[in-house]
């Protein structure tokens, strides 16, 4: 995935997001990265038909807090999908491993417990340049990719349908 352009999507293959309500929970840590991901996600949701009024965005201090922020959003807002946006950059200690594992498992747990898809938009890179490359740089913007996933999952949640089964 690291060598692909994360920003490409074929709008003709994406459900119309006009009737969906989206949540975005954004980590303030590494805000240069996370705000670019948020911008890409919001612009893409709007491009796919969502209205600004149907996009709720909350900030949390860091990536570890994304899980609680998403949980509170699920419990207090009527949303069809949530995008959890964060950025964790490898350092000299095992803190990176603990944060990445905790956030990943927390988002998995939310997807199992609640009937609201939570999209994992947490960059876990070895250095800041890799994060810059994936948040609007040479590899595009993962926020865009995650917005597309959110639209598709909101459609799946609301219609109770799956994609066509070709050859089955």
| Residues carrying an active site annotation | 95
Question: Do the beta carbons of residue 126 and residue 133 sit within 8 Å?
Answer: no
**Stretch (H or E) spanning 37:** helix 31-47
Burial tier of 20 (Cβ tally within 10 Å: 0-12, 13-18, 19+): buried
Backbone angles phi, psi at 131, to 5 degrees: -65, -40
- Tokens for 39? 């911008």
């Amino acid at each position: 995935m690291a060598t692909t352009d994360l920003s490409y999507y074929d709008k003709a293959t994406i459900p119309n997001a006009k009737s969906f309500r989206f949540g975005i929970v954004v980590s303030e840590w590494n805000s240069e990265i996370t705000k670019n991901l948020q911008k890409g996600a919001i612009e893409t949701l709007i491009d796919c038909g969502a209205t600004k009024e149907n996009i709720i965005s909350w900030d949390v201090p860091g990536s570890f807090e994304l899980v609680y922020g998403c949980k509170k959003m699920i419990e207090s807002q009527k949303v069809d999908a949530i995008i959890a946006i964060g950025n964790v950059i490898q350092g000299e200690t095992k803190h990176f491993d603990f944060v990445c594992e905790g956030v990943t498992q927390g988002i998995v747990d939310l997807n199992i417990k609640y009937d609201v898809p939570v999209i994992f938009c947490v960059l876990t890179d070895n250095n800041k340049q890799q994060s810059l490359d994936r948040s609007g740089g040479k590899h595009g913007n993962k926020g865009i990719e995650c917005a597309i996933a959110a639209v598709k999952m909101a459609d799946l949640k609301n219609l109770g349908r799956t994609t066509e089964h070709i050859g089955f």
